[in-house]
Structure 1
């Protein structure tokens, strides 16, 4: 575990998406997070690495991709510590995201579509 985490715009975007996934009880793979945040791969994966180092998220590799000849995906979800930390940082930096009635965050339509693609559907 590292020290305090640097809060950036990309981190807030990723935290919003992961918190929505937590509330929806689904795991997301990196590509889904990229699409939902509309951020580049290096940016998102850099944030995911920082969040994992800080203990906010855990990642796991799928056993086998459902389509032959495709690489396995890495799924991410918030830890209990990460849920609290994400809610706190969003309350401080983007309170409007927590104070508005529940609705999909920007790009979350992709997440709804992806639910059907996840192994076992929505989890």
Structure 2
């Protein structure tokens, strides 16, 4: 699980009932579209995210947006993935030993 995927999951879990669109997720996470969209596709393949397209007639003057929402499976699995990533990060930080001049060994 990459840090970018964890960031996307965190954003989706912030408001699990909301539908998010790609550009909004890019802005909220700071992740470029070329990285974000493959993550969303992968999460959708896992069943953690579902998506739907806007009705193009409802929004004259702009292209339709694809909206993403976390699923029930995604709620549980996403929370577990975030917890595992946090634990992994804590273990890695705890394994660093002070080196010469306060650096890490």
TM range (shorter): 0.7 to 0.9
Does the C-alpha gap of structure 1 residues 86 and 65 become closer, same or farther in structure 2, counting only changes over 3 Å?
A: farther
User: What's the counterpart of residue 57 of structure 1?
Assistant: 49
User: What's the counterpart of residue 115 of structure 1?
Assistant: none
Q: Following TM superposition, where does structure 1 have runs of at least 4 consecutive aligned residues deviating by more than 3 angstroms?
A: none
C-alpha separation between the residues in 2 aligned to 1:17 and 1:94? 16
Structure 1: unaligned runs, 5 residues or longer? 1-6, 96-123
C-alpha separation between the residues in 1 aligned to 2:57 and 2:26? 18
Structure with the bigger RCO (C-alpha within 8 Å, sep 6+) is 1
Q: How many residues align?
A: 87
User: What's the counterpart of residue 13 of structure 1?
Assistant: 7
Match of 1:40 among 20, 32, 51: 32
Structure with the higher helix share, 1 or 2: 2
Q: CA RMSD in A?
A: 1.4
Q: Deviations over 1:12-47 (max 9, x none)?
A: 00000000120xx31110111000000110100010
Instruction: Assess if the C-alpha contact under 8 Å between 1:21 and 1:28 holds in 2.
Output: no
Structure 2: unaligned runs, 5 residues or longer? 88-105
